[in-house]
Chain A
Amino acid sequence: KTQVEQSPQSLVVRQGENCVLQCNYSVTPDNHLRWFKQDTGKGLVSLTVLVDQKDKTSNGRYSATLDKDAKHSTLHITATLLDDTATYICVVGASTNTGKLTFGDGTVLTVKP
């Protein structure tokens, strides 16, 4: 069973539109949740990390929420740009010393002119 499920699998928006990506997980324990951006064939770039039971973060046009009771997170991208075209990956970190992470499969976002 997939422990980190992301939806939608893919999404197409027009430049300037807003979008919301979802992440549901069943990982226990859930010490923190992080969103990464990955350009095609490239490495992962961290966008934000959420830690608290009910957490909100903001990083420029990216904002995120986490509800650990619901085991649910959202990533909001405001006023999308062509450069936002990428795969967005939700990752849950367990509260162990090993730093082991559980990755979602990602949402592929395409921003069109």
Chain B
Amino acid sequence: EAAVTQSPRNKVTVTGGNVTLSCRQTNSHNYMYWYRQDTGHGLRLIHYSYGAGNLQIGDVPDGYKATRTTQEDFFLLLELASPSQTSLYFCASRTGYEQYFGPGTRLTVL
């Protein structure tokens, strides 16, 4: 079974704060993804990557940076967090057309 882990699982910060969400996959999958999930919207793609050092822009990238440091690790950075970024964030890795999702990080920006 593919494994994707995320940390922290919960995070509270203030407006303007600096936040880093971490994702690790132990599956040697090339592709990794960051999504956000909000009530009234399906999951929306923020950024994705097809390998270490690579970054592709998703559908809702504004206010987010991402970095893929290794095959295993993909980070999502919010450098000036805003209340509109309060959401449930999911990371995923992919092989073929199977995507494996992490357990999610709940971020609250006050």
Contacts and interface: CB of A to CB of B under 8 A. Distances in A.
Interface of A: 4, 31-32, 41-44, 46, 49, 89, 91, 93, 98-106
A18 B106 CA distance: 33
A104 B44 CA distance: 10
B42 A41 contact: no
Contacts of A93: 97
B42 A44 contact: no
B35 to A, nearest CB: 8
B94 interface: yes
15 contacts: A4-B42, A31-B97, A43-B103, A44-B43, A44-B101, A49-B98, A89-B42, A93-B97, A98-B31, A98-B56, A99-B33, A100-B48, A101-B45, A101-B99, A104-B42
In this complex, the interface size class of chain B, counting residues with CB under 8 Å from chain A, is: 20 to 34
Interface string B1-37: 0000000000000000000000000000001010000
Contacts of B98: 46, 49
B75 interface: no
B104 A41 contact: yes
A44 B33 CA distance: 14
A49 B104 CA distance: 22
Nearest to B88: A41
Nearest to B33: A99
A32 B64 CA distance: 29
Interface in B34-86: 40-45, 48, 50, 56, 58
Contacts of A105: 40-42
Contacts of B45: 100-101
